[in-house]
Amino acid sequence: MNSSSNVNQSSGAATFCLLGAVGYSHSLDTCVLEVVVILFLTVLIISGNLVVIFVFHCAPLLHHHTTSHFIQTMAYADLLVGVSCLVPSLFLLHYLRDLNEELTCKVFGYMVSVLKSVSMASLACISVDRYIAITRPLSYSTLVTACRLRVCIVLIWVYSALIFLPSFFGWGKPGYHGDIFQWCADSWKTSPGFSTFIVAVLYAPAALTVCFTYGSIFRICRQHTREITQRHARFSSQLDGEKGERGERCEGCPDKRYAMVLFRITSVFYVLWMPYILYFLLESAGLYQHKVASFLTTWLAISNSFCNCLIYSLSNSVFRKGLGRLFSPLFPSCLSCTDAKKALVPVSPRPDSRCQV
């Protein structure tokens, strides 16, 4: 804290660094460590989410689930987060010094808060969608329609924009995303009332919804697995038992596997965001305040914008196929080798293709 203050006082506002003297370079007259971290995350976020968006357009099978609309909404929101992160990067590199610092940091902090709120609300809607798909499979198509999905996505954007709007009128601070700017770090203070309001209308409802829906989904899946095992043991005919088991597994298999992929995305989201939320509450209550902690927790949370692409590529076989199709023009030799290997492998009987995710 003291080292950061000394650097700022001796060198002026142009050399303000949240990480203090550790991240400041006198030769370049900028906060090198902060610039490196922010630019690195910016490149990852923009490139990763562009890949997600292009793969969704190139892989029609990914549109089999209605959750693809929410996944794409998150991808567009995260892409905008990456683009908006160019603002503090350019500011630290002295390209935007002519802009009004107060207005710039307010707009940047508000935009990032709204975009991350869209991601959080989309994850909650995804969990509700999967809960309806598993608990009410027969009426799912009538309950979840394309029109209702569009309305829900519009409401997510409008709701996210409205709940952070009071921060522009002097009621609290939406987050620490704009603390790269000295005015945001020193003059824009958090408010216990506004922080409690954000927790009550966003963080808590989203987290409780996710916990309830995924808890119910996995409880139902365990119950179905137990019933299948008992039914298989009850029948003496192994052939009939295998047929019955195969048919029932294929009915629940896609939803369970797809729910696992979405659960991983949701878990990583909250793991990366939990330090930020805890610091937000502690700092608002006046219990703990440190500029380095605010920088680290804030950009750890923002790094989540890249994680969806990574999780999808590791967990979803359809996404991997779409990714291979997207990059096949760049690596035609690898694609031809893969096709040749597939042609040499004899075709064997496989269970219902609905079980493949």
Tell me the per-residue pLDDT of 126-144, one tens digit each, with 9 for 90 and over: 889 888 888 888 888 888 8
Fold annotation for 29-234+255-327:
Rhopdopsin 7-helix transmembrane proteins (1.20.1070)
**How many residues are given for the chain?**
357
DSSP 8-state secondary structure symbol assigned to residue 137: T
When mean pLDDT is compared across 51-55, 171-175, 351-355, the lowest value belongs to: 351-355
161 pLDDT exceeds 70?
yes
User: Cα dihedral angle (229, 235, 240, 242), rounded to 10 degrees?
Assistant: 20
Residues 114, 164 contacting (CB under 8 angstroms): yes
Distances 314 to 217, 293, 309, 317, 338 between C-alpha atoms, Å: 22, 31, 9, 8, 19
Residues 73, 156 contacting (CB under 8 angstroms): yes
Tokens for 69, please give them: 């609309």
Greater confidence (252 vs 262) lies with 262
Give CA–CA dist 270/210, Å, rounded: 10
- Please give the mean pLDDT across all residues of the chain: 75
Compute φ and ψ for 186, nearest 5 degrees. -100, -35
DSSP 8-state secondary structure symbol assigned to residue 352: -
List 24's β-bridge partners, or say none.
Answer: 31
pTM for this prediction: 0.75
* pLDDT 10s digits, 267-322: 887 888 888 888 888 888 888 888 888 888 888 888 888 886 677 666 666 677 77
Give CA–CA dist 304/141, Å, rounded: 32
Task: Name residue 219's amino acid.
Answer: R
Give CA–CA dist 86/121, Å, rounded: 24
Residue of 52, 204, 209 lying closest to 125 (CA atoms): 209
Tokens 């203090």 sit at which residue?
20
Residue of 306, 282, 294, 238 lying closest to 75 (CA atoms): 306
Greater confidence (288 vs 163) lies with 163
* pLDDT 10s digits, 30-62: 677 888 888 899 999 998 888 888 887 776 666
The pLDDT value given to residue 151: 93
Tokens for 126, please give them: 């995804």
